Homo-oligomer: A and B are copies of this chain.
Amino acid sequence: MDNQQLKLNNQICFPIYSVSRLITKAYKPFLEEMGLTYPQYLVLLVLWENDNIAMNKIGEKLLLNTNTLSPLIKRMEKMDLLQRKRSNKDERSVFIQLTEKGKKLKNTAIPIPEKLLNTLLTEDVTLTEIMLLKDTLNKWSDILLDRQNDK
């Protein structure tokens, strides 16, 4: 009885947890130049793609609730990256708009994904493999979301 299934290296949960943290760490040097944290960078990715959207829409895309987003976005407002504005049509929602500073940061961010890819790519890790992993994880994400919404 050595309970193989309880061994760290046999579990799927641990590699995902650790690679996630390692990737965040890999982003760090690039994001630090811009004065951003990783979740702040994710919010900007959403806004660069779709400016002036409601806060809950950002949460839907990043799978974050308002108890995480609300203070995060307020910090970003203090950094002059974006502005929060109550909607007139629906006084409950807050719309988020990039400031000039927030818009300009996009230019600095453009080369980051490629730089990160280069950190990862070796003779052992090919672009094909990375794409495959991405697709698998996106599928998992959908499945786990379904599971958790059903309850």
Contact = CB atoms under 8 A, between A and B. Distances in A.
Copies assembled: 2
Given A19-B144, A23-B16, A122-B143, A8 B137 contact: no
**Range, interface on chain A:** 35 or more
Interface string A86-130: 000000000000000000001001100110110110101100011
A133 B48 contact: no
A5 B141 CA distance: 20
Q: Which of A125, A134, A138 has the most CB of B within 10 A?
A: A134
B144 A13 contact: no
A46 interface: yes
Given A116-B13, A133-B12, A6 B110 contact: yes
Interface of A: 3, 5-27, 38, 42, 45-46, 48-49, 61-63, 106, 109-110, 113-114, 116-117, 119-120, 122, 124-125, 129-130, 132-134, 136-141, 143-145, 147-148
